[in-house]
Structure 1
Amino acid sequence: MSEDDLASFRRWILAVLDTIAADPLHQVRYLRDAGVGVDELLLELDDAVVTAQARWRDKLLLRHELNLIELVGAHVDAMTESSAPLWTEEALAETTEWRELRQLATDVRTELARSWLEVGSTTVLVDGTTIRTEADLHDLLAHRLNFGPHYAATLEALWRRLSSDLSRPVELVWRASTTSRRLLGAETFDRIRSVLTSVAARDARFTVRFE
């Protein structure tokens, strides 16, 4: 496996965990846009666990990294065996099982990112299929980058936070950006893109990539 392939595998694992760790509102929007049921949120995790086991056998994954991924898989297995009504949109927001799974996925993602990325760096993955309004993006970034309760949620405030209030380095990867441009409208998307790229142009320790 080439270095690019390994990097792609790691990004995929982090993206799978991001989907599981996302707040219920974003998860429901994702499911409705895709036209699938709640259980679909977890199907890709099964693939992630199997692939991670293969990477470990190929000596491309450390044992403790595999253990972390399998820990999330084991939690999901316990949920599928439960008799509780967990597979509705309401359950995503209301049940302890889903809250615990989100927290576990968040913790595992953080630990894996520390193992795989530059020490002290932060990578934020934006799923373009879930960003339907500017407010959706502000909510996501405020959560991922810990902007706190006083964040104004405007593009001006975003520029200020990204320019001066964050520990560096930070990488922002916006997946399905063409979908976002369609959902947001070209004008709104281009204004957001301009803010992000202007910060990146001023500081090499902040990078943004649109996929």
Structure 2
Amino acid sequence: MLINQKIKIVSKNVILVPYRKEHVEKYNKWMQSEELQRLTASEPLTLAEEYEMQESWMRDDNKCTFIILDRDIFEKTHNEIEAMVGDTNLFFANEFDHMVAEAEIMIAETEARGKHIGWQAMLLMLLYGTSNLDVRQFVVKITRDNVISISMFEKIGFVFTSVSDVFNEVTLNRIVDDNWLKWLKSSVGEYDVIKEDEFYSVFLLFIPFIIITICMFEPR
């Protein structure tokens, strides 16, 4: 989704950044894991196919993807690749109506699990969906034996709606109402949505002043 390509969301422990080409190699290595393939119902891709997928998703208005960074690691290393721990997505089945979104989250790095990173990243994504994409209903589809993920979404307020024996998954959903949105904002706490364009816009405003100043002080 192009709309989030210059957006960075920063909270206490988590940073969400757009899925870019520099992230693809590590992401592709994650997805060679049979465990992650099973939990995400995914098929392994070659590295070339993963690059194509990243480019396709970036331009697809029905897919919103962020890479999850562990903020502590990023602040120590200043390296997004080293700080990558997973990803979170919103998928829209109806290209003309983004009121309903399917939400996903994956914490790929085992060391990052159990640290509340997945919880915080998912809340940030849900809040971004409601505040910036006008989502009014979220749906999640989870492998039946992924009890940790099912429990997390139930704590977030999702309710069970169906089970599929064919796909071995359960479906939960959450309608966005005022009370839940209030809880969501309270649970997220302080966070910043940073737009890269804001920095460049301010910089461009000063370019004429810089040029004039240089001309005025140019030695004759």
Select the structure that is richer in helix: 1
Look at both structures and tell me which one has the larger radius of gyration over its CA atoms. 2
Q: Where on the TM-score scale, by shorter chain, does this alignment land: which range?
A: 0.3 to 0.5
What TM-score, normalized by structure 2, do the two folds share?
0.31
Select the structure that is richer in strand: 2
What TM-score, normalized by structure 1, do the two folds share?
0.32
